[in-house]
Structure 1
């Protein structure tokens, strides 16, 4: 049982105003963007609440954003010319404009919001709207030149001084004649491609690039290539409980492919598991493959991959799938961890500032991600659902204002299933001689 948990409620603030155009008419149903300004004296702050409806103007051009923590903000509407794919659902858009009428971020008026306060009349006047443009194209089979329907279309935004184009998931599919059309592009350089992501099917393509200047683009042709597949079975390592077996149905297997041919985009796709634990991932391009396991439901138990085998031999992440050679018979062994790390943090020679934060994380050897959390007011922390193995536990102190730097503290600990591993950190806050 955990007791003495105190929760302090603070009344949130509100920012409200009206958005009008060059003719002083209300700008209706436009999204308002709120950007907190970083405060070096208070790096840890409550998050800004998200409610999509309150970030949109009503039929009078009025917006109200409430529940905000105290701080400094800029408020804007519209899009910048560098955002590329705007996808506004409209053939026109407004240039990004900050309160009160600045189109450059440096000239924006900063809104100061006190705790529980109200900032009213934070009005924005936008200039005349600009046009967006559409792209129309079609998808054909690279071997037969016949149209292909029902494949997913992805887009790329190509920006100067950027190593790789930025992908944009459109949710668009080709129609029964293999054709597609997408509205909402600003002037710029782009690419379109066939994607197998998000159950996109068996095809992929290399990008076809185009430029938008001041009119719609038509005739973009995408040559779809039938992709490779990975198939196999996911099983659980060690003792299998009914609870663990039931959770297999909520897992998905993902494959991320790093092309070896110099292609500018990665390929990725995923598959849900059949009741017997089998899977098949389609539409992959050749390259080096990394396998991932994730939950598609609300389960808090996150499995980790213990090992991958093919034909009885161990396979490391980054194995290669070669052109024309799909891979079957993969065995992915996962581990549902039931181990726990429970720890205590003690401070000696002083006390932590009341608004400081202490975070803890742990990383298992050979696993690219970590788990963790925040240390409570009593100096206790607990990290659950860990797979067996050797972990590095790291403690990080975050201060609201400049302090004598304290480097992250680290300890090694071994975790086993159905048991708790304890760790204790002792932090000396006493001032050093000759220092602050």
Structure 2
């Protein structure tokens, strides 16, 4: 996979006259056709019914007829990538009838040689490019191996199609499952060596722009790592035809925030596992096992400190994951009539469950059992035709329910729990779940009559728009200050253009300003961060820039000046 499209979600170019297909065009930023591009289209709800298409000589593609619902589209082209700085942080989904365009960018290249201490070339050693910062130099919450490869018979490697950012390059160490074409290498038990010949702490950082080619040679240190071994308790031995569900085990480095080793275990070896090539350090070990039903069993985080010796005899217990269950209801408004309700409306609606935990809270013993990678996580569900949804495989904690409407003209009116006679809003504070227990009775009401606002954020002459700028809409009425569903935000494109869709009609304050980041380096959410929400509300009330949006109203070409930052 070279690239996945991250065009703005819910914003296809227009509708296809062949309502049962998705079509589009793939090109470069300069408008050149990509005749070697491939397009993969699959259902957002999962399953194996994906279509892989080749674009024609004009860069166009069109699927075979599709069932109603939501679909993802991935675009593949050797050496190319997509813009990682897009307005939406959520993956886009498409519906039958959509026509969309995809722009690919020439990726960067990191190449070099891997040699031993005698200067001899090392053949078939795995090499990885690990992205640690984005293209603006901001530290990523999780660093991950973006591209893997092997050296050739000259000891030369070449990793291409890399998005702009800052990288580390490592050689040797455990292979990632599914990423080593030749299977486990002869260097599985060695600690990875980072360019030029360093540990991760002292590794050379490699800035890379789109289209650049840089060289990073590695002198392999030939340092043996340690072994962490043990067994899984509570795993299930499935006997459904020839399908087997093993247990996946991951070792997470708490300092570098990266998976450093992976393993699998199954019933043939009594669910025993071993992780090789582990350097000294502090880690979290966690495991999970899927099933044909989609319900997983998972472990809590096990803290492990490796210091000069192997660690054996570890027992990792699996238990049923938690879930959030509920239903979506649509409220039609004959006066508004802009919701364009279709028979597939339910199947085109998304329900996200977002877990957020501050770094301070994460240090508490009560929450330390949740693996770091899941402390701030997102899972989704698609309702069935009757509106029933289940968000599966959740870690314990508090989740905010974050629905996505099926189309323009609809807005989320309320998120409640409890009987219809006395519902309690959970939009602001979320839903708290315990390990293995379902939270049920959630009702999401989506109403007709939403407004849409499009326009452009303007800056002074000679100024440019920073990527951290956001547009915020907050309710004008003071009594609505606690209704988080009346707060909206949007990230503009690089040219300042923005779209805010699915707005509850009414009167708002509006502002464009630099976003604030939380301790993980992620922009604070105006709906989920109470202190930040109060600050933006105060700023907008002081600015007094108002906008009134009527039911079903679509406002275009709205110009909004960027507000200068204020002192904290």
TM bin, normalised by shorter chain, reads 0.5 to 0.7
- Among 366, 382, 386, the residue aligned to 2:484: 366
Q: The residue matched to 1:374 in structure 2 has which SS?
A: coil
Structure showing greater radius of gyration is 1
Match of 1:420 in 2: 554
Aligned length, in residue pairs: 385
- Among 202, 210, 215, the residue aligned to 2:310: 215
Match of 1:248 in 2: 347
Q: The residue matched to 1:418 in structure 2 has which SS?
A: coil
Q: The residue matched to 1:248 in structure 2 has which SS?
A: helix
Q: CA deviation at 1:218?
A: 3.6
- Residues in 1 aligned to 2:167 and 2:348: alpha-carbon distance in whole angstroms: 45
- Among 416, 435, 446, the residue aligned to 1:308: 416
1:74-126 Cα shifts (integer Å, max 9, x gaps): 7632489xxx9987855323433223x45576684x87989977656x43222
Q: CA RMSD in A?
A: 5.6
- Among 217, 222, 245, the residue aligned to 1:128: 222
Matched, 1:277 2:387: yes
Q: CA deviation at 1:331?
A: 1.9
Matched, 1:183 2:275: yes
Match of 1:332 in 2: 444
Matched, 1:262 2:366: yes
Written as runs of structure 1 = structure 2, the 5 A alignment for 1:65-104 is 76-78=169-171, 89=184, 91-99=188-196, 101-103=197-199
- Residues in 2 aligned to 1:167 and 1:69: alpha-carbon distance in whole angstroms: 20
- Residues in 1 aligned to 2:434 and 2:309: alpha-carbon distance in whole angstroms: 42
Gaps of 5+ in 1: 2-6, 45-49, 142-146, 399-406, 430-436
1:200-220 Cα shifts (integer Å, max 9, x gaps): 626455445555553363451
Q: CA deviation at 1:414?
A: 4.2
* Inter-CA distance 190–235: structure 2 relative to 1 (3 Å threshold): same
- Residues in 1 aligned to 2:168 and 2:313: alpha-carbon distance in whole angstroms: 37
- Residues in 2 aligned to 1:154 and 1:51: alpha-carbon distance in whole angstroms: 17
* Inter-CA distance 300–246: structure 2 relative to 1 (3 Å threshold): closer
- Residues in 1 aligned to 2:563 and 2:296: alpha-carbon distance in whole angstroms: 59
More strand by share: 1
Q: CA deviation at 1:227?
A: 5.7
Q: TM-score when scaled to structure 2?
A: 0.50
* Inter-CA distance 33–391: structure 2 relative to 1 (3 Å threshold): farther
Work out whether residues 227 and 285 of structure 1, in 8 Å CA contact, stay in contact via their aligned partners in 2: yes
Match of 1:385 in 2: 501
Q: CA deviation at 1:137?
A: 0.9
- Residues in 1 aligned to 2:133 and 2:326: alpha-carbon distance in whole angstroms: 49
- Residues in 2 aligned to 1:395 and 1:13: alpha-carbon distance in whole angstroms: 33
* Inter-CA distance 200–233: structure 2 relative to 1 (3 Å threshold): same
- Among 18, 24, 28, the residue aligned to 2:124: 28
Q: The residue matched to 1:31 in structure 2 has which SS?
A: strand
* Inter-CA distance 336–52: structure 2 relative to 1 (3 Å threshold): farther
Q: TM-score when scaled to structure 1?
A: 0.62
Q: CA deviation at 1:262?
A: 1.5
Written as runs of structure 1 = structure 2, the 5 A alignment for 1:48-59 is 57-59=151-153
Q: Which has the higher contact order (CA 8 A, sep 6+)?
A: 1
Match of 2:400 in 1: 290
* Inter-CA distance 153–307: structure 2 relative to 1 (3 Å threshold): same
